[in-house]
């Protein structure tokens, strides 16, 4: 058993190392895998394979953030909306770091500051305190704000309030025109963007005739046309029906997996966060915790403090535990739960 | 006071290229004190159906009966209908307009010929019912509240009329999980107090936890109607309609497919948990 | 919404649908001028033939084109009656007090009513066959010369575009708020003017707030997509007119010329 675990860990380390070496050769030039991370770093409790998988996730992320390629690098960000007599901090000393190509979910109850935070990433709110770099650009530098907004795209919550035109292709062209894209390049860029969200052939449709999920995908295509490095989804699935939500999430995951976009996902659907590489939890303008989905979503105490509910399989895991039924790992998805239940002995 | 739809059809924009049957010969009856969920795809006719019940649309054919009386009959008093049937639309917070919370909640009461003490006590009751403190909030401007509070105020405005039938269209959309749960608890209390509740939602978990009966609409027709466990037991049909069943039900279904002898009428979380513990004790789990 | 709104765009693939919107706009203006110049029976007959032809080619149903009649009926009647009664004519058929009913007056009334009807039919056909965006685009390019007198046509174009795309959303929202307030007892159905006036606030305030909220969100979305006013933007090149567009324009001009001079 222990031998197997050792093997898994070795593979994970090797994977992380080679991935790093391929993606960021200059940073990995002088590092041998043994020197960087070795099997001694395995937590003492590695008897449980769930900890092993947490460990593997962590190794993976460490390998990534050890490099300088950071899409978001924010330190000590504070922000308060200037209301009369109000000194409530919407953001209170928030530090956040997101590696290029990472998919990060930011969770928190309504009013926890998640939207305020991500608006900084697109310079839609100007920095009051702290420092922030987005795709290597200083968010404070007002001269380069347009460059920053090109690197960081944003899809908002209400599918109806993001269109400037009642024809899909004109809407997608809007962003391109803002950056003075030569007119002969526009049609090909529009159709590329539509292909990325799986909506080729919708060029001449009117957004109002589409379903909610389709509208959000068009809004996403409008953002993608500018070829951003980072895409922020500010509760983009909150107003959709389950089917629309599935459509959008599938599209987001495809962009992450195939196009290697940095994805920042704000949501209060735990099921959507399961697929993220990492999760930040926010409460009252502060970051409460960050970690892999497995670390965060299985922490009942933490989630309760953040006024969030754990995913259903996690609740079942703990409730079964109370009833004396111990599953080997804490499952995150329904499929995992069924798998665990079937292998109970 | 039962609601009956008798062969009700509704056609949108008849005689134009946009003509579309939104509802097609639907017959259904909802008894007093029921807690009914309506599911269906966007554009299946759910909204049309609840608006017909609330008398906001007039059927192209068929009858909508309230307590046996046709509400679209010339002799039926609109005021009576408004008093009896309350409807909360999606994102109700957007309909607020008065300068104070108190005035907004009292808006519907103006037409009920109540004296000012009665109005005040109704407003206070409605605000407390949705979980707001009357004394603290009544003089505030409803437009300065947070999103969640605004929604509560808007719902209080409907509750203040003390409707016997309360219809809600996606009332939990955009709420976070904790707010979602406390809102459903509120509906449950109203239901226990005798109010008939009709709720349209995509959230199968919530419907499974709180409603007793589910109507499923597809392309304007009523395709399923029955107790929650019966409707959810037909996972194949629900999948064909592209609708979710509650997640405990889905897990039981997946386990069943793996050959685990778990009852297939599980709908709620507690039921799943009991069944699992029971299975383990009896050695039913592998 | 039981009836289709007047002036709705009806997607289709008729000859008229495929014409350049600029051509349609110019042809429309030409047609209006000829309507105003027409005042004889043969003139109206030829207009009628022209309309029939236009409806046939554009595949717009007569019912759609005449959709406005219902709501304008009273207005048209009033025009006719007023003209009939007050037209100053030398040979009245009968006179009473200040009213003089005359053949000339009736002819004048019919004249005005017919002109309005033809005008409405032509605009119905224009709106039914031209997508709002195309119309906005055409308007923009026809306004383009105005940039030489320092009118920011580029910003204007974006404004028109945004406004046009918000129309269906706002109409839906208006309908929803109207229903929500009706359900709470607002009396929009009421025939009494006083009650009707009192019920305007619950409708108007939420609609305005909604429009502001949407505008606010949209402006954020536009900014996020790099909008910073009309400057530094890709200039849309004017699409050249195609052969069929030029042909259509010439036909329209010829028809109008004949109509104006022959009748």
Interface of B with A in 195-224 (CB under 8 A): 202, 205
Q: CA-to-CA distance for C109 and C79, rounded, in angstroms? A: 7
Contact B19, B13 (CB under 8 A): yes
Q: Which residue has the tokens 């204007």?
A: C156
Lowest mean pLDDT of A13-17, A259-263, C29-33, C177-181, name the range.
Answer: A13-17
Q: CA-to-CA distance for A154 and A98, rounded, in angstroms? A: 16
> Could you give the percent of chain B with pLDDT greater than 90?
68
Q: What angle do CA B209, B211, B214 make, to 5 degrees?
A: 115
Residue A185 at interface with chain C, using a CB cutoff of 8 Å = no
Of C165, C228, C232, the CB nearest to A164: C165
CB contacts, 8 Å: C224 with chain A: 122, 124, 149, 153-154, 156, 223
pLDDT at A12 over 90: no
Mean pLDDT across A112-125: 93
Query: Which has the higher per-residue pLDDT, A27 or A148?
Result: A148
CB contacts, 8 Å: A323 with chain B: 273, 277, 280
Q: What number of other Cβ atoms are within 10 A of residue C257's Cβ?
A: 12
pLDDT at A28 over 80: no
- DSSP of C207-242, one letter per residue? HHHHHHHHHHHHHHHHHHTT--SSTTPPPPPPPPPP
- pLDDT band at C92; cut points 50, 70, 90: low
Same domain, C169 and C227: yes
pLDDT at B164 over 60: yes
Ramachandran quadrant class, A111 (left: phi over 0; alpha: psi -120 to 50; beta: rest): left
3-class secondary structure for A28-42?
Answer: HCCCCHHHHCCHHHC
Q: CA-to-CA distance for C152 and C154, rounded, in angstroms? A: 5
Residue A88 at interface with chain B, using a CB cutoff of 8 Å = no
- Looking at residue A299, what is its pLDDT? 92
End-to-end distance of chain A based on CA atoms, in angstroms? 16
Write the CATH number of the domain with boundaries A70-287: 3.40.50.300
- Looking at residue A105, what is its pLDDT? 96
pLDDT at A220 over 50: yes
Residue A308 at interface with chain B, using a CB cutoff of 8 Å = yes
Distances (CA, A) of B28 to A206, B49, B71, C144: 36, 11, 15, 59
Q: Which residue has the tokens 């409605």?
A: B126
Mean pLDDT across B241-254: 93
Same domain, C2 and C118: yes
Same domain, C122 and C247: yes
- Subunit contact C10:B17, Cβ cutoff 8 A: yes
CB contacts, 8 Å: A314 with chain B: none
In which residue ranges of chain A is CATH 3.40.50.300 found? 70-287
Q: CA-to-CA distance for C202 and C182, rounded, in angstroms? A: 10
pLDDT in tens, B200-239: 999 999 999 999 999 999 999 999 999 999 999 999 999 9
**Structural domain of C2:** 1-130+240-263
Residue C180 at interface with chain B, using a CB cutoff of 8 Å = yes
Within 8 A by CB and 6+ apart from A309, the residues are A270, A303, A315, B177, B178, B181
Q: How many domains does chain C have?
A: 2
pLDDT at A335 over 80: yes
Same domain, C9 and C126: yes
Nearest chain A Cα distance for residue B114, angstroms: 37
Lowest mean pLDDT of A21-25, A120-124, B240-244, C28-32, name the range.
Answer: A21-25
Chains in contact with C via at least 3 Cβ–Cβ pairs below 8 Å: A, B
Nearest chain B Cα distance for residue A90, angstroms: 14
- Looking at residue B255, what is its pLDDT? 93
Lowest mean pLDDT of A66-70, B29-33, B97-101, C113-117, name the range.
Answer: A66-70
Same domain, C85 and C148: no
Q: What angle do CA B127, B128, B134 make, to 5 degrees?
A: 65
CB contacts, 8 Å: C233 with chain A: 177-178, 180
- Looking at residue A36, what is its pLDDT? 42
Q: What is the mean pLDDT of chain C?
A: 82
pLDDT at C100 over 80: no
- Report how many Cβ contacts below 8 Å link chain B to chain C: 70
- Subunit contact C225:A180, Cβ cutoff 8 A: no
pLDDT at A108 over 80: yes
- Looking at residue A33, what is its pLDDT? 47
Same domain, C181 and C228: yes
- Looking at residue C138, what is its pLDDT? 84
Query: Which has the higher per-residue pLDDT, A173 or A14?
Result: A173
What are the tokens at A19? 């991935």
- Looking at residue A35, what is its pLDDT? 40
Residue C206 at interface with chain B, using a CB cutoff of 8 Å = yes
A contact test, residue of C18, C132, C221 with most A CBs within 10 A: C221
pLDDT at C180 over 50: yes
Q: Which residue has the tokens 């405005």?
A: B157
pLDDT in tens, C25-73: 899 988 888 888 888 888 888 888 989 998 998 888 888 778 777 777 8
Within 8 A by CB and 6+ apart from A294, the residues are A50, A53, A54, A57, A330, A332
pLDDT at C4 over 70: no
Lowest mean pLDDT of A98-102, B59-63, B122-126, name the range.
Answer: A98-102
pLDDT at A70 over 90: no
pLDDT at C153 over 80: no
Nearest chain C Cα distance for residue B108, angstroms: 5
Same domain, C221 and C149: yes
Q: Residues B252-274, buried b or exposed e (16+ Cβ, 10 A)?
A: bbbbbeeebebeeebbbbebbbe
Minimal CA–CA distance to C252: which of C42, C57, C65, C66?
A: C57
Lowest mean pLDDT of A14-28, B24-38, C78-92, C179-193, name the range.
Answer: A14-28
- Looking at residue C161, what is its pLDDT? 80
- Looking at residue A84, what is its pLDDT? 54
Same domain, C103 and C186: no
- Subunit contact A166:C132, Cβ cutoff 8 A: yes
- Looking at residue A40, what is its pLDDT? 44
pLDDT at C114 over 50: yes
Mean pLDDT across A60-81: 74
Q: Residues C96-111, buried b or exposed e (16+ Cβ, 10 A)?
A: eeeebbbebbbbbbbb
- Looking at residue A266, what is its pLDDT? 94
CB contacts, 8 Å: A154 with chain C: 221, 224
- DSSP of B116-162, one letter per residue? HHHHHHHHHHHHHHTT--HHHHTTS-GGGS-HHHHHHHHHHHHHTT-
Contact B156, B166 (CB under 8 A): no
- Looking at residue A18, what is its pLDDT? 58
- Looking at residue A228, what is its pLDDT? 95
Identify the helix (H) or strand (E) that includes residue B79.
Answer: helix B78-84
- Looking at residue B113, what is its pLDDT? 81
Same domain, C5 and C63: yes
- Subunit contact C223:A177, Cβ cutoff 8 A: no
pLDDT at A11 over 70: no
Nearest chain C Cα distance for residue A166, angstroms: 5
pLDDT at C3 over 50: no
- Looking at residue C192, what is its pLDDT? 66
What are the tokens at B236? 């194949």
What are the tokens at B111? 């037409």
Nearest CA in chain C to A227: C225
Q: What is the mean pLDDT of chain A?
A: 83
- State the burial class of residue A128 (Cβ atoms within 10 Å of its Cβ: 0-12, 13-18, 19+): middle
- pLDDT band at A48; cut points 50, 70, 90: very low
**pTM, entire model:** 0.81
Q: CA-to-CA distance for C206 and C210, rounded, in angstroms? A: 6
Mean pLDDT across A144-157: 94
pLDDT at C163 over 90: no
């Amino acid at each position: 058993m222990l031998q197997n675990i050792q093997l898994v860990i070795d593979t994970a380390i090797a994977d992380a190392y080679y991935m790093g070496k391929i993606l960021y050769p200059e940073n990995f030039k002088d590092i041998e895998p043994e020197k960087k991370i070795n099997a001694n770093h395995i937590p003492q409790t590695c008897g449980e394979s769930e900890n092993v998988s947490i460990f593997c996730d962590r190794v993976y992320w460490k390998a990534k953030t050890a490099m300088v390629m950071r899409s978001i690098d924010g330190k000590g960000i504070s922000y308060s909306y200037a209301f009369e007599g109000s000194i409530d901090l919407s953001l209170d000393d928030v530090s956040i770091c997101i590696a290029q190509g990472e998919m990060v979910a930011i969770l928190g109850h309504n009013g926890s500051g998640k939207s305020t935070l991500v608006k900084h990433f697109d310079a839609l709110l100007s920095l009051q305190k702290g420092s922030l770099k987005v795709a290597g650009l200083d968010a404070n530098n007002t001269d380069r704000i347009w460059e920053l907004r090109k690197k960081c795209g944003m899809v908002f919550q209400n599918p109806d309030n993001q269109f400037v035109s009642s024809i899909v292709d004109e809407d997608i062209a809007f962003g391109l025109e803002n950056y003075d894209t030569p007119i002969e390049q526009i049609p090909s860029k529009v159709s590329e963007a539509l292909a990325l969200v799986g909506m080729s052939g919708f060029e001449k449709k009117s957004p109002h005739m589409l379903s909610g999920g389709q509208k959000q995908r068009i809004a996403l295509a409008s953002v993608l046309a500018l070829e951003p490095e980072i895409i922020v989804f500010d509760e983009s699935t909150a107003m959709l029906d389950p089917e629309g939500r599935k459509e959008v999430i599938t599209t987001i995951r495809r962009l992450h997996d195939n196009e290697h976009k940095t994805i920042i996902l704000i949501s209060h659907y735990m099921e959507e966060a399961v697929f993220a590489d990492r999760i930040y939890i926010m409460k009252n303008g502060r970051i409460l915790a960050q970690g892999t989905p497995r670390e965060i979503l299985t922490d009942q105490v933490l989630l309760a403090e953040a006024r969030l509910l754990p995913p259903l399989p996690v609740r079942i895991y703990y409730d079964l535990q109370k009833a004396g039924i111990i599953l080997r790992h804490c499952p995150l998805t329904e499929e995992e739960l069924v798998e665990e239940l079937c292998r109970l002995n | 006071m039962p609601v009956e739809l008798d062969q009700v059809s509704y056609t949108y924009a008849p005689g134009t290229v946009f003509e579309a049957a939104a509802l097609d010969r639907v017959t259904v009856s909802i008894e007093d004190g029921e807690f009914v969920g309506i599911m269906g795809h966007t554009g299946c006719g759910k909204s049309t159906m609840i608006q017909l019940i609330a008398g906001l649309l007039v059927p192209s054919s068929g009858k909508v009966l309230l307590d046996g009386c046709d509400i679209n009959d010339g002799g039926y008093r609109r005021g009576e209908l408004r008093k009896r049937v309350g409807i909360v639309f999606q994102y109700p917070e957007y309909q607020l307009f008065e300068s104070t919370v108190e005035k907004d909640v009292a808006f519907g009461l103006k037409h009920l010929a109540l004296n000012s003490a009665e109005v005040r006590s109704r407003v206070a009751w409605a605000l407390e019912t949705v979980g707001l403190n009357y004394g603290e909030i009544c003089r505030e401007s409803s437009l300065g509240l947070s999103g969640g509070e605004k929604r509560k105020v808007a719902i209080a405005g409907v509750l203040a009329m003390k409707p016997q039938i309360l219809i809600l269209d996606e009332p939990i959309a955009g709420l976070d999980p904790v707010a979602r749960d406390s809102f459903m608890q509120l509906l449950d209390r109203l239901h226990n107090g005798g109010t008939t509740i009709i709720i349209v939602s995509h959230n199968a978990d919530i419907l499974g936890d709180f409603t007793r009966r589910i109507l499923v609409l597809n392309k304007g027709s009523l395709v399923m109607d029955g107790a929650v466990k019966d409707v959810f037991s037909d996972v194949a049909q629900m999948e064909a309609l592209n609708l979710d069943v509650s997640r405990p039900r889905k897990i039981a279904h997946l386990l069943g497919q793996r050959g685990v002898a778990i009852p297939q009428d599980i709908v709620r979380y507690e039921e799943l948990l009991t069944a699992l513990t029971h299975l383990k004790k009896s050695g039913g789990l592998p | 919404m039981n009836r289709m709104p007047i002036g709705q765009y009806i997607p289709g693939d008729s000859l008229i649908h495929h014409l350049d919107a600029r051509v349609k706009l110019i042809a429309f203006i030409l047609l209006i001028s000829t309507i105003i110049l027409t005042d004889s029976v043969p003139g109206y007959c030829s207009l009628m033939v022209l309309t029939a032809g236009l409806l046939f080619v554009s595949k717009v149903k007569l019912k759609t084109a005449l959709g406005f009649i219902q709501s304008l009926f009273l207005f048209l009647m009033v025009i006719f009656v007023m003209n009939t009664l007050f037209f100053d004519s030398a040979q009245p058929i009968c006179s009473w007090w200040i009213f003089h009913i005359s053949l000339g007056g009736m002819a004048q009334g019919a004249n005005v009513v017919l002109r309005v009807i033809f005008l409405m039919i032509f605009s119905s056909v224009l709106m039914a066959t031209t997508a709002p965006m195309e119309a906005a685009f055409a308007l923009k390019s026809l306004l383009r010369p105005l940039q030489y007198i320092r009118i920011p046509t580029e910003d204007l174009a974006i404004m028109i575009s945004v406004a046009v795309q918000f129309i269906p959303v706002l109409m839906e929202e208006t309908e929803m708020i109207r229903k929500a307030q009706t359900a709470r007892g607002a009396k929009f159905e009421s025939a009494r003017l006083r009650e009707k006036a009192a019920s305007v606030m619950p409708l108007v305030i939420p609609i305005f707030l909604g429009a502001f909220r949407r505008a606010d969100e949209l402006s954020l979305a536009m900014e996020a997509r790099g909008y910073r006013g009309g400057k530094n933007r890709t200039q849309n090149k004017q699409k050249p007119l195609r052969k069929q567009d030029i042909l259509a324009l010439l036909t329209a001009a010829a028809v109008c010329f004949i109509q104006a001079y022959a009748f």
